Amino acid sequence: MTRFNTWKMACVLLLLCLVMTSVSPAATTFKTLLNFDGTNGSAPSAALVQGLDGNLYGVTSSGGKNGDGTFFKITTEGKLTTLYNFCSKANCADGEFPAAALLLATNGNFYGTTKYGGFKNCPVTTGGCGTVFEITPEGKLTTLYTFCVKGGENCTDGANPQAPLIQGTNGDFFGTTYFGGNSNGAGTLFEITPAGKLTTLYTFCSKAGENCPDGANPNGVIQGTDGNLYGTTFDGGGVSSSGEIPDISNNCGGTAYKMPAPPDKTIDDVIEEFCKAMQGELPRSTLFDSLPDPFDKSTGVEHLASDEADADVITSFSETSDDSTLTFYGTASGGGTHASGVVFSITSAKKYSDIYDFCAKKNCADGAYPGAPVIEGTDGNLYGTTTGGNGNSHCPSLNGCGTAFALTTKGVLTTLHSFDSTDGDDPSGGLVQATNGTFYGTTFFGGTDGDGTFFSISVGLGPFVETVPTVGAVGSSVIILGTDLTEASAVSFNGTAAKFKVVSPTEITTTVPSGATTGTVEVTTPSGTLKSWPFQVP
């Protein structure tokens, strides 16, 4: 499972540690586990998230009883249960078209957004300005906030959120709206309490200058290990346009930015302006800051650098010796050497590097237009999807049906699967690694009924554990997610033993013990010791 809670976030940028291996195609097993058919949802467009019970949870952007999207639970074998149908209330007051991944919060419930719904009379777009909601694993939904509730033709509190939320170290949630804010309609950055009190932290396209130098149309946001907020915008910055009105629809640009902690309602620094010569443009994901990798690679699959000669490597990234500098990895859906998108790294010290330029092979067999975040697998590789590439006779689009890939931070790419419409088309939601070690994802189109699919990809990686949250002081409560935890005999935080309770085969509750320091959480089971990503102790 991706590190999708607290100050980390899975939208369209993710991080990775510096392990330089590539996945052997022979070790890869792909399975289509479910075909969506409209009645059980249609067009899933967001990554899945693992719940406390070990099942995966997600949303479809359309379909279901009312045709406006669903909230569902699905087992790792592909058994789906629809738990909620959006637009079940008058005027879709409960929201419609949930387009972003869910967040598993520290209370065990899920939090998310709907792009539309809420007030029907939305002055920014038709179909409502969107909502923020909480939903239990059983499907009980509570609408926490309806956008444009403050009124006004510009929706000063924002409109149409379409990126995931994060839970900050203060317990509140942070997110973005794609539109609204001011007369430029370039979106907002907001903070919302669990009780639903929303504060607008920043309105984009507020700074003087052509093409919105502070960015426009934000993607998701994360809280870095330094406490600051980091994010990207799909437009603005980059290449300036002519004319008196800022051009935020010139299909070029985007920014990466930082807001100091605690949030002070100012964009302190634009880290990067995209759309420069031969680099990526149109970033579509959230950022993740890199952490040391605790996993033992010797227990994983055999890795072969078979694709290295064909990889189009622009530059490789090397860590700075300055511990205060954070490293981020992400994707941009356009730009690059072949104008088909890139995976890149960027630091808080403003060092940008292209890691891989897509469409380097004939017919874009290596993929094109990455439209989702990459995630860090437990083998230290980046894993992700492209929405196009490898076109074939089954694909309705000349751009192809998309791919799933593994990528080292040196730029060595391995195509894990090429979709052909029969098994899915447009895997725009990206991947998630569950604690059993297998990757899971969905496609927006394709499959038996054309309504999308649910699939798994195994590369031979073993199980691990995940903590919720990923940061906490001594004495704070922590949930540990995993598989086959029933006979767990010990839990430790970076070597310091902790008291714990086994709640179920997939859940352990514990508290951060006295003397604990930042490092790996380990759970001892009869089958071996399971490790987590580093847990931060302030």
Q: DSSP letter string over 99-151?
A: -S--EE-TTS-EEEEESB-S-S--SSSTT---EEEEE-TT--EEEEEETTTT-
DSSP string, 390-410: S--TT-SSTT-S-EEEEE-TT
Collapsing DSSP to helix, strand or coil, 12 comes out as strand
User: Rounded mean pLDDT of the chain?
Assistant: 82
User: Does residue 483 have a pLDDT over 90?
Assistant: yes
pLDDT interval class at 509 (50, 70, 90): very high
Output the pLDDT for position 421.
92
Q: How much is the pLDDT for 221?
A: 86
| pTM (predicted TM-score) | 0.87
pLDDT the model gives residue 98:
97
Q: Domains of the chain by range and CATH?
A: 1-34+286-462 (no CATH), 466-531 (2.60.40.10)
Confidence check: pLDDT of 91 > 50 = yes
Cis peptide before 123 (omega within 30 of 0): no
Q: pLDDT digit string (tens) for 429-458? A: 999 999 999 999 999 999 999 999 999 999
The pLDDT tens digits of the residues spanning 310-333 come to: 222 222 222 333 456 788 888 888
What percentage of the chain carries pLDDT values higher than 90?
59
Residue 294's pLDDT is: 59
The rounded radius of gyration (Å) of the Cα atoms in the chain is 21
Q: Is the dihedral of CA 397, 102, 226, 193 positive or negative?
A: positive
In a 13 Å sphere around the CA of 405, the CA atoms on its Cβ side amount to 37
Q: Does 11 score more than 90 pLDDT?
A: no
**pLDDT exceeds 80 at position 275:** no
Report the pLDDT value the prediction gives residue 132, as an integer from 0 to 100: 98
**Confidence bin at 23 (pLDDT 50/70/90):** low
Region of poorest pLDDT, from 152-166, 459-473, 520-534: 152-166
Structure tokens that stand for 143 in this block: 């609408």
Query: What pLDDT was estimated at residue 238?
Result: 52
What does the pLDDT look like over 126-149, one tens digit per residue? 778 999 999 999 999 999 999 998
Strands 375-376 and 352-357: unpaired
Q: Has residue 247 got a pLDDT over 60?
A: no
What's the confidence (pLDDT) of residue 391? 63
What's the rounded mean pLDDT across residues 246-273? 61
Give the C-alpha distances (Å, rounded to integers) separating 495 from 57, 157, 293: 32, 46, 16
Q: Which residues contact 140 (CB under 8 A, 6 or more apart)?
A: none
Looking at residue 357, its pLDDT comes to 94
Q: Is the pLDDT of residue 20 over 50?
A: no
Cβ proximity of 363 and 395 under 8 Å: no
Q: What value does the mean pLDDT take over residues 65-91?
A: 97
More confident residue, 250 or 151: 151
pLDDT value of position 174: 95
% of the chain at pLDDT higher than 70: 79
Long-range contacts (CB closer than 8 Å, 24 or more residues apart) made by 28-31? 28/416, 28/417, 28/457, 28/458, 28/459, 29/456, 29/457, 29/458, 30/404, 30/416, 30/417, 30/423, 30/455, 30/456, 30/457, 31/455, 31/456, 31/457
Q: How confident is the model at residue 435, as a pLDDT?
A: 98
Q: What is the mean pLDDT of residues 365-373?
A: 90
- DSSP run (H or E) holding 455: strand 453-458
Amino acid 274: pLDDT:
52
In 3D space, the residue among 326, 330, 378 whose CA is nearest the CA of residue 354 turns out to be 330
Strand order from edge to edge, sheet including 477-481:
466-468, 477-481, 507-511, 500-504
pLDDT surpassing 50 at residue 308: no
Predicted local distance difference test score (pLDDT) of residue 264 = 66
pLDDT of residue 524 exceeding 90: yes
